[in-house]
Structure 1
Amino acid sequence: MRHKHFWLVSSLLLLAMNPAFADSERSQYTLEQAIDTALANNPELGIMQARIEQANAQLGESLANFYPQIKASLSYQHSDNPAQAFAMIIAQRRLSFAGSDFNHPGGVDNYRPQVTATYSLFRGGQDYYRKQAAELGIETSELEKAATRNQLVNNVTAAYYGELAAMEAHDVSLRSMEAVQSELNQSRIRFDAGTLLKSDVLSLEVQLAEAKDSEIQAANTIELAQSMLKTLLGLSASENFAISSSQHAALPAGPAVFDELLNQALSSHPELKAADKRVAIAEQQLNVAQAAHLPRADAFVSYGSDSKDLAFSSNRDNVSAGVMVEVDVFSGFATQEKIKKAEHELTAAQEAARQTRLRIENQLKSAQLNLQNALSRAEVSVVAVKAAEEALRLVNEQRQAGVVTVTRYIEAEVARDKAHTRQITARFDALRAEADLKQATGFWQ
């Protein structure tokens, strides 16, 4: 008993420490796990998050206009111009009338360290409108990320179901190959015994080649779907990856009426909301352009000192303060052209929003019709598969009894495979159409 426990524990530890075993367990992705991995690793979402951070930075930049601006500077000037030199000597507090030749003061050096603060009192509302546009830009970036997330989830779902469909089609091809190969082996024995024609054997060989061709195509489709899923999940081509083939998705329910779906999309679809936000941003940009006609007022204060060297002394410091108001009387029509540009950008944003709504309405209607069509096909395919299976069974019995030719058997075999393929296609088309419908209504967010 002690040895049994030892080997049991050892085996469990070996399996747990075996990297190949661990990788094979981890690489079995369900649809939910694949979606979660894509949302965590796909670089497109990282790009959208960076755009959100850019929008936040732009908001911070616009808010900077509401704070005072403080600058420190150091200037140096040398002049022998009597007016300038006389002014510098007075600023340095060293004017002396004794022995001074004001017409020939010689070269004078002046150093001025200075701190200046300015504050915008009024800019016609431009700073406020820019702040509003920046805040709308953040909301737009977040909605664009939600739309990208919806698209990513839909793409992962479609690729996942596409691989499952290819895997089931591959299984059908393998079963067909086995059945045809078994029949071919029996036919060769009967041909060697002189009870079967050579043409029957050749027909089965052709059928086997077609089944092998279908198997190769299905296997290639699986590889392509896996490659697409790895890209969507942010995995490298060398990483181990496989989906959980044991997961069986039931057929979705029928879609709701179009008006109900449209109302849901209009209230929750991130692309529609983002388009509306872009219109609002364009309106704020137009307000900024129009506000350029209004006057601007700035307050300023500066503190510094003038000296012939860099030595600072509070006996030579000075303070200047004031308010400046300015207005553009004529700017070469630049302001008018900026307003026209902003008006056209607003029109473009409004048309883009209308185009987005029309596109989503079309996607919604297409997804609804595709889902209804796929569900109807899936319902019909169930009956077709049962009939094809029964027909193949009867033909096979007749074939064994020598009543029908091999051609009839091949026809029944092909009909059975096609019925299974149509059933697989209809079922996964319905699942993909359901995913498209969820994206079109903004459900994935």
Structure 2
Amino acid sequence: MRLFFSHLVIVLMALSVGAGHAVAEANAESFTLQQAIDYALENNPEIGIMQARIEQADAQLGEALSSFYPQIKASLSYQHSDNPAQAFAMIIAQRRLDFNGGDFNHPGGVDNYRPQVTASYSLFRGGQDYYLSQAAELGVETSELEKAATRNHLINNVTAAFYGFLVARDAHALSLRSVEAVQSELDQSRVRFDAGTVLKSDVLSLEVQLAEAKDAQLQAANAIEIANAMLKTLLGLSAEQDFSVGESLNQPLPETPAEFDVLVSQARGQYPELKAAEKRVAIAEQQLNAAQAAHLPRADAYVSYGSDSKDLAFSANRDNVSAGMMVEVDIFSGFATQERIKKAEHELTAAREAARQMHLRVENQVKTARLRLEEALNRERVTSVAVQAAEEALRLVNEQRKAGVVTVTRYIEAEVARDKAKTRDISARYDALRAEADLKLATGFWN
């Protein structure tokens, strides 16, 4: 009897710990599994975080694309000088040169105000702007895939926690029935003991079993609260908000999974984390191209319109326009360009290895989830037969007990065997549903 209750407690605790805009409201509303998933997708903070990262990547793309537009700046500068060359140049720029107006070698202090508008445009940067914009665009796609991966993990965790709650609830009901059964037998045994037909040891044994049954019932109730708290966290609900589950663990069992090669092929085509890893390789390639392009020359064009005057008064008679183009190339940058290229090469190598690692991980996850699903389905077939056999055995022993052929101890043993079989069946059914969810996650089916 003690082994049975220990087994029941372990199952309940494992189920509660192993678990990870809706139509319904959060206050005392009964959630179905789909409603719980929808609510979590709408309210879980992780989804909001990933959406913010997508928008951040989109802003980075906009920043990269800004290099393809002209840059326009407005400025106001002030200069004072008594240097003859600079002062003479400022007087000429202000259109007030007078050959009879004084000593050019001693012009005195001259003030010059220059408001201007300058437009510049990058004609060529070795393709760096193009490569970086491509990397930024891939970054947006990667962020979207990461959000899809987060969404899949959230759905999987909600599913696991939801099933864990149902199992804990059903197991709690089973523990309550065990308490009632042992209590009933204890009451009858006490009456028979008073009548002298039952030994004192049988009564004491039943009292011990009742204490164990009550202890298991308390732990089962606690497992429900743990599963409930986990679900609230996943759904983005506070601890004070009411929450209830409106389904029972009567969902049909999953079907036998497809062959491993078929499942791996599905995963390679739609597993978001794998596709995100491949996108990171492409990003690293574009960043390497941009680093290598720094060896090529750069060409920029500009045009500037402004006015020079001795005060802030603007006059079209003193305005001027400057336009030009500049081509430059780095001859020696202190090995900075070479080091940036090396860094980009190492980042590309790391991205490729990470993608290869993700391929191996996906294969392992698919295989593991498939094997666990097959194992759980086989276990459930065995445990369902065991439950039927245990129910029939209990019925026969009960009839024999009523006829006085067997002792109460034999009846309790049969009842324990029946409850143990049901516990195993509940565990196997949960494991099958949980393994199906893991297999969907591994193949990217939640997309």
TM above 0.5: yes
Query: Displacement, 1:210?
Result: 1.3
Query: Displacement, 1:404?
Result: 2.5
Stretches of structure 2 that go unaligned for 5 or more consecutive residues are 1-23
Which amino acid in the other structure matches residue 217 of structure 1? Q
| Contact 1:396 1:409 (8 Å CA) reproduced | yes
Which amino acid in the other structure matches residue 37 of structure 1? Y
* Greater than 6 Å deviation, 4+ residue runs: 22-25
Which amino acid in the other structure matches residue 356 of structure 2? R
**Superposition TM-score, scaled by structure 1 size:** 0.93
What SS does the aligned partner of 2:213 have?
helix
What's the counterpart of residue 113 of structure 1?
115
**Structure 2 CA distance, aligned partners of 1:63 and 1:233?**
38
* Aligned pairs (5 A) from 1:143-222: 143-222=145-224
| Contact 1:207 1:410 (8 Å CA) reproduced | no
* Aligned pairs (5 A) from 1:190-339: 190-246=192-248, 248-339=250-341
- The structure-2 alpha-carbon separation of the partners of 1:23 and 1:95, relative to structure 1 and needing over 3 Å to count, comes to closer
| Contact 2:44 2:234 (8 Å CA) reproduced | yes
**Structure 2 CA distance, aligned partners of 1:92 and 1:143?**
60
What SS does the aligned partner of 1:324 have?
strand
| Contact 2:26 2:241 (8 Å CA) reproduced | no
| Contact 2:167 2:249 (8 Å CA) reproduced | no
| Contact 1:80 1:108 (8 Å CA) reproduced | yes
**Structure 2 CA distance, aligned partners of 1:245 and 1:285?**
51
- The structure-2 alpha-carbon separation of the partners of 1:335 and 1:174, relative to structure 1 and needing over 3 Å to count, comes to same
Query: Displacement, 1:402?
Result: 3.2
* Aligned pairs (5 A) from 1:14-93: 27-93=29-95
What's the counterpart of residue 14 of structure 1?
none
* Aligned pairs (5 A) from 1:361-376: 361-376=363-378
1:134 aligns with 2:136: yes
Aligned length: 424
* Aligned pairs (5 A) from 1:366-445: 366-445=368-447
Which amino acid in the other structure matches residue 364 of structure 1? V
Which amino acid in the other structure matches residue 130 of structure 2? Y
Q: Which of 98, 101, 109 is equivalent to 1:96?
A: 98
Segment of structure 1 superposing worse, 96-105 or 169-178? 96-105
What's the counterpart of residue 340 of structure 1?
342
| Contact 1:385 1:419 (8 Å CA) reproduced | yes
Task: String of CA shifts for 1:137-183, please: whole Å, max 9, x gaps.
Answer: 11111111111111000000000000111111111111111111111
Which amino acid in the other structure matches residue 359 of structure 2? R
Stretches of structure 1 that go unaligned for 5 or more consecutive residues are 1-21
Query: Displacement, 1:246?
Result: 4.0
**Structure 1 CA distance, aligned partners of 2:401 and 2:284?**
76
**Structure 2 CA distance, aligned partners of 1:435 and 1:329?**
59
Query: Displacement, 1:247?
Result: 6.1
**Structure 2 CA distance, aligned partners of 1:212 and 1:272?**
49
| Contact 1:388 1:415 (8 Å CA) reproduced | yes
| Contact 2:74 2:118 (8 Å CA) reproduced | yes
**Structure 1 CA distance, aligned partners of 2:247 and 2:147?**
31
Which amino acid in the other structure matches residue 72 of structure 1? A
Which amino acid in the other structure matches residue 439 of structure 1? L
**Structure 2 CA distance, aligned partners of 1:208 and 1:389?**
21
Which amino acid in the other structure matches residue 227 of structure 2? A
| Contact 1:30 1:247 (8 Å CA) reproduced | no
Which amino acid in the other structure matches residue 316 of structure 1? R
Identity of aligned residues (%): 78
Query: Displacement, 1:208?
Result: 1.0
**Structure 1 CA distance, aligned partners of 2:384 and 2:321?**
92
Which amino acid in the other structure matches residue 206 of structure 1? V
Compute the RMSD of aligned alpha carbons. 1.3
What SS does the aligned partner of 1:274 have?
helix
| Contact 1:23 1:240 (8 Å CA) reproduced | no
Which amino acid in the other structure matches residue 60 of structure 2? Q
Query: Displacement, 1:245?
Result: 3.3
Which amino acid in the other structure matches residue 416 of structure 1? R
Q: Which of 349, 352, 355 is equivalent to 1:353?
A: 355
Query: Displacement, 1:394?
Result: 2.1
Query: Displacement, 1:26?
Result: 5.6
**Structure 1 CA distance, aligned partners of 2:110 and 2:174?**
99
Task: String of CA shifts for 1:326-368, please: whole Å, max 9, x gaps.
Answer: 0000000000000000000001111111111111111111100
**Structure 2 CA distance, aligned partners of 1:426 and 1:282?**
46
**Structure 2 CA distance, aligned partners of 1:211 and 1:253?**
36
Query: Displacement, 1:398?
Result: 2.6
Query: Displacement, 1:82?
Result: 1.1
Task: String of CA shifts for 1:255-289, please: whole Å, max 9, x gaps.
Answer: 10100000000111111111100000000000010
What SS does the aligned partner of 1:292 have?
helix
Segment of structure 1 superposing worse, 327-336 or 55-64? 55-64
Query: Displacement, 1:369?
Result: 0.4
